[in-house]
Structure 1
Amino acid sequence: MMDPPPGCKFNPRCAHAMDICRQRIPEIKELSSGHFAACHLHDQPTV
């Protein structure tokens, strides 16, 4: 990608993009054994 957007590089085409996605690159986190994701969506509390 020659000119990536600020924040998460997927935010322009992500249906779940939030304001934080346009501002900060998400950290890679292990969601379950051997399953990793870098997404601010997984930082949100579940209800």
Structure 2
Amino acid sequence: MKKTLRYNYRLNPTPKQEAKLIEFGATARGIWKLLFSENMRRWVVHT
């Protein structure tokens, strides 16, 4: 059986860095939702 090596990291961002991380996460989620809905729309059209 192959074991996977795993590392855990904890971030301690400054308040300014934390705001940027939250902004990045919101942007990434928006892009994900946009692309997911586009894929679903294309899938429904071709089915």
- TM-score past 0.5 threshold: no
- Computing the radius of gyration from Cα coordinates, the structure with the larger value is 2
Greater helix content: 2
Superposition TM-score, scaled by structure 1 size: 0.16
Superposition TM-score, scaled by structure 2 size: 0.16
